Amino acid sequence: MRTEKYDCKPTLTDQQVLDFCRYGFIILEGVVNNTVNQRVSKFLETRNSEEPVDILEEEWFVDAVIKNPESAGAVRSLLGKEFLLPRVISSHQVHCPAPAQPWHPDAGSIFTHRLDCLQVFYYPLGATKEMGPTELLPGSHLTRARNAFLGRLKSMKSAVLTNSPPGSIVITVYSILHRRTASSATGVRNNLKYTYWRTSDPQRDWAIDPKFNFSWSKNVFPPLSVDAANMFAWLCGENWKHMGGPSWPSFTAGIYDHDQIGLPENLRRFSEE
């Protein structure tokens, strides 16, 4: 099996990339058509494998799911040109009802502002609340202190359920904390998981709005943390260092007609005199 590079039109905006850095995930609901979803489900019925990699040899699957325009467009926005397509795929099939998993990051997770890969979940039949969808902890991809409290986590008010209709795709930072929630329904919940990889240097070449104001975030909760700002600056190809205090990305009560101190150079609206 040969790893293929792929390029397509980036679809995420400045705001969406900022939000991805802030939360660590994006949910694309129902982006794969139902004919393909049913075909994938039937394909999985004939396989008893935790890694049904032969589906990656099926052109119809690669075109409709792996190269799905909305999903691949988001991946292209975050990983840049000529990203690597998945070479391995995992089947996280669950026979419901089933208990919840403990909170965890996946093996090999590291804390970093770099974004060199993306982890993706695809629900061919969807995942209602009763089917035990994956639960994500926003911002946890940037959380350093994990091991000391993971075993004590039961439920988190800020957690987000990825309950979604059939054909939904969830794109995450690999290191995000997540778990499968408890299911009360009967039947099978399919979840295919795979990873895309970066091959190019980061640069701000997604769906750019030249008038977008990166300064003076107001009434945005949660505010952009220094770690999330560091990830965003890295994605823009900026060599950025936080200056401390109320410098960017700190949010304020007002919006001003000048750039915020500490904003990366190529994100400024005004030239410095």
Of the pLDDT bands very low, low, confident and very high (cuts 50, 70, 90), residue 149 is low
Among 168, 197, 226, residue at a domain's last position = 197
- Is position 171 within any domain? yes
Asked whether residue 180 falls in the same domain as residue 113, the answer is yes
3-state helix vs strand vs coil in the chain, percent to 5: 25, 20, 55
- Is position 86 within any domain? yes
Does the pLDDT of residue 159 top 80, yes or no? Answer: yes
Task: State the CATH number of the domain containing residue 91.
Answer: 2.60.120.620
Across all residues in the chain, what is the average pLDDT? 91
Of the pLDDT bands very low, low, confident and very high (cuts 50, 70, 90), residue 53 is very high
Among 197, 222, 244, residue at a domain's last position = 197
- Please state, as a whole number, how many other Cβ atoms lie within 10 Å of the Cβ of residue 26: 19
Over residues 227-241, the pLDDT tens digits come to 999 999 999 999 999
What is the DSSP-derived secondary structure letter of residue 130? G
Give the Cα separation of 185 and 179 in Å (integer): 18
Provide the pLDDT for residue 147: 56
Residue type, 125: L
Asked whether residue 50 falls in the same domain as residue 185, the answer is yes
Provide the pLDDT for residue 157: 66
Asked whether residue 55 falls in the same domain as residue 189, the answer is yes
Asked whether residue 171 falls in the same domain as residue 253, the answer is no
Asked whether residue 141 falls in the same domain as residue 265, the answer is no
Query: Are the C-beta atoms of residues 5 and 79 closer than 8 Å to each other?
Result: no
Averaged pLDDT for residues 252-262:
86
Provide the pLDDT for residue 270: 82
- Is position 208 within any domain? no
Provide the pLDDT for residue 112: 93
Q: Which residue segment(s) compose the domain that 37 sits in?
A: 5-197
Asked whether residue 190 falls in the same domain as residue 224, the answer is no
CA atoms within 13 A on the CB side of 139: 14
Averaged pLDDT for residues 248-269:
89
- Is position 91 within any domain? yes
Of residues 64 and 269, more confidently modeled: 64
Over residues 208-224, the pLDDT tens digits come to 998 899 988 776 777 88
> Which range, 47-61, 64-78, 125-139, 246-260, has the best average confidence (pLDDT)?
64-78
Among 160, 75, 177, 63, residue whose Cα is nearest residue 118? 75
- Is position 205 within any domain? no
Give the Cα separation of 91 and 54 in Å (integer): 12
Of residues 1 and 222, more confidently modeled: 222
Asked whether residue 56 falls in the same domain as residue 113, the answer is yes
- Please state, as a whole number, how many other Cβ atoms lie within 10 Å of the Cβ of residue 2: 5
Give the Cα separation of 94 and 117 in Å (integer): 26
Give the Cα separation of 230 and 128 in Å (integer): 35
Residue count (the chain): 273
Show the tokens assigned to 256: 């001003």
Provide the pLDDT for residue 249: 93
Does the pLDDT of residue 154 top 60, yes or no? Answer: no
Asked whether residue 221 falls in the same domain as residue 97, the answer is no
Asked whether residue 19 falls in the same domain as residue 129, the answer is yes
Averaged pLDDT for residues 185-195:
94
Averaged pLDDT for residues 26-44:
97
Report the b/e string of 90-107 with b at 16+ CB within 10 A.
bbebbeeebeebebebee
Asked whether residue 248 falls in the same domain as residue 186, the answer is no
- Is position 226 within any domain? yes
Query: Are the C-beta atoms of residues 196 and 83 closer than 8 Å to each other?
Result: yes
* SS3 assignment, position 264: coil
Among 197, 226, 243, residue at a domain's last position = 197
The DSSP-derived string for 67-119 is: T-HHHHHHHHHHH-TTEEPPS-EEE--EEEEEPPPPPBPPTT----S---EEE
Does the pLDDT of residue 167 top 70, yes or no? Answer: yes
Of residues 144 and 155, more confidently modeled: 144
Residue type, 62: V
Asked whether residue 40 falls in the same domain as residue 142, the answer is yes
Of the pLDDT bands very low, low, confident and very high (cuts 50, 70, 90), residue 11 is very high
- Is position 70 within any domain? yes
Asked whether residue 191 falls in the same domain as residue 229, the answer is no
Provide the pLDDT for residue 254: 80
Report the b/e string of 192-224 with b at 16+ CB within 10 A.
bbbbbbbeeebebebeeeeeeebbbbeeeeebb
Does the pLDDT of residue 146 top 80, yes or no? Answer: no
Beta-bridged to residue 131, according to DSSP, are none
- Is position 203 within any domain? no
Percent of the chain whose pLDDT exceeds 70: 93
How many distinct structural domains can be found in the chain?
2
